[in-house]
Amino acid sequence: MINYPFGKRVNSSPITAIKKNKNPVINSANRGMSFETDINFSNDYYAQKHIALITKRPTPINVVKVDYTRGARITDAYFSMQSTTDYNGVYHGRYIDFEAKSSHSKTSFPLNNITPHQFEHLKEVFFQGGIAFFLIEFTKLNEVYFLDARFVIDWHENQQKKSIPLTKIKENGRLIKQGLRPRIDYLPTIIEYYSL
Amino acid sequence: MINYPFGKRVNSSPITAIKKNKNPVINSANRGMSFETDINFSNDYYAQKHIALITKRPTPINVVKVDYTRGARITDAYFSMQSTTDYNGVYHGRYIDFEAKSSHSKTSFPLNNITPHQFEHLKEVFFQGGIAFFLIEFTKLNEVYFLDARFVIDWHENQQKKSIPLTKIKENGRLIKQGLRPRIDYLPTIIEYYSL
């Protein structure tokens, strides 16, 4: 287990933890989860090395019932949708914001699991002068691509198709190097692409 | 109810919702919660007016048990500590990060509920060129102060005292104007203080 730079152990999302317990077999569902874990480890690496500070927003949960007799134990709750993106942070004073998504297709990235709130959030990030992008994992190809969020927003608004072909992603995005530490070394691409 | 700029209703924290149901009487505990709600409304106002994009991180919850027969209903979970601050976002491309705290003292701001992780997080924000500060509500005085996080970190590391006297906060911070919309208009202070 890699330690968080400040002594805290990496907090994988509650969903990850559950999925891992329930189903240790590698299938396409928890491959998506391990992509999240890989990005979390990469962010921990960047923080440890003081390269960038990028954190994952906790999974939003709506709490329905709490048992105060058991020290505020939650007895009824449900997962809710993130209305923002999953990750944000800072590099050289600049605001960075991104969403990590997995595609189980070999040829395209479907946009149907990006919510309208997330599109609006990403547009607002640009309006405020921030940097916003997607990291897209193609699980069956074992490839991860960077794609500026403007391209995704434009495609969503101007194309009839509900997915972006991999060929377009290759043309407009960048292939991210995978390695041991960090697993998903996306930061050099960001620095180069946005001239940071 | 004020609508979120992108059509989403304001998500008060799950704790707020519970406390509100359980105890509608205004006491010092849920005054702290309404401070959070006020800041959320102020951030919604800034987002609606496209002035800044600052969001609250969801309350981290550790999920222990999920009932999948009821559509992934969480049946056992507990609140965990935020290892970062509660708020972050972007203004003119710059990364902004802050923590909102309430003090029930009339004369000082106790530092004992700022975790070591939060201090480390704030230091790292500065290291990365970001802006980091505290908004401190004095519940009994109905006053809200801005205080740069560097001052709080320095005080924490170099003073024997476990709280910052209000006199020092007045000397080194700024009183924040309160109004109707936004309730806690902290952004002009940030812009002026950091020359943004």
- pLDDT the model gives residue B33: 64
A163-172, A173-182, B22-31, B45-54, range with the lowest pLDDT:
B22-31
Distances in Å between the Cα of A10 and the Cα atoms of A57, A177, A180, B54 are: 13, 22, 17, 25
* pLDDT tens column, A10-61: 333 434 333 333 433 444 444 456 999 999 999 999 999 999 999 999 999 9
**Min distance A73 CA to chain B CA atoms (Å):** 5
Mean pLDDT is lowest, of A52-61, B10-19, B60-69, for: B10-19
Angle at B78 between CA B75 and CA B84, to 5 degrees: 135
Q: What CA–CA distance (Å, rounded) separates A53 from A73?
A: 31
Q: What's the one-letter identity of residue B98?
A: F
Residue A140 C-beta-side C-alpha neighbours within 13 Å: 8
To the question of domain A14-193 being in CATH 3.40.1350.10, the answer is: yes
- Taking contacts as CB-CB distances below 8 angstroms, the residues of chain A near B52 are 128
CB A36 within 8 A of CB A14: no
Which residues in chain B touch residue A15, judged by CB atoms under 8 angstroms apart? 63
- Best mutation target among A3, A63, A75, A131 (most B Cβ atoms within 10 Å) is A63
Q: Cβ A63–B6 below 8 Å, yes or no? A: no
pTM recorded for the entire structure? 0.83
Query: Residue B158: CB partners within 8 Å, gap ≥ 6?
Result: none
Residues B182, A154: Cα–Cα separation, whole Å: 32
Q: How far apart are CA A29 and CA A104, in angstroms?
A: 9
Residue that has been written with the tokens 């891992």 in this structure: A20
- Give me the interface pTM, i.e. the ipTM: 0.82
Asked if A129 and B90 come within 8 Å (Cβ–Cβ), the reply is yes
pLDDT reading at B32 higher than 60? no
CB B75 within 8 A of CB A75: yes
At A188 the pLDDT is: 98
φ and ψ at A64, to 5 degrees? Answer: -100, -45
Q: What is the pLDDT of residues B86-123, one digit of tens each?
A: 999 999 999 999 999 999 999 999 999 899 999 999 99
Q: What's the rounded Cα separation, in Å, for the pair B182 and A133?
A: 30
Contacts with B71 from chain A: Cβ below 8 Å = 78
Q: Pick out chain A residues at pLDDT < 50.
A: 1-31
The structural domains of chain B, with segments of one domain joined by +, span 14-193
Please give the angle made by the CA atoms of A120, A123 and A126, to the nearest 5 degrees.
150
Per-residue confidence band for B146, with pLDDT thresholds at 50, 70 and 90: very high
Contact B117, A6 (CB under 8 A): yes
Q: Which residues of B touch A44 (CB under 8 A)?
A: none
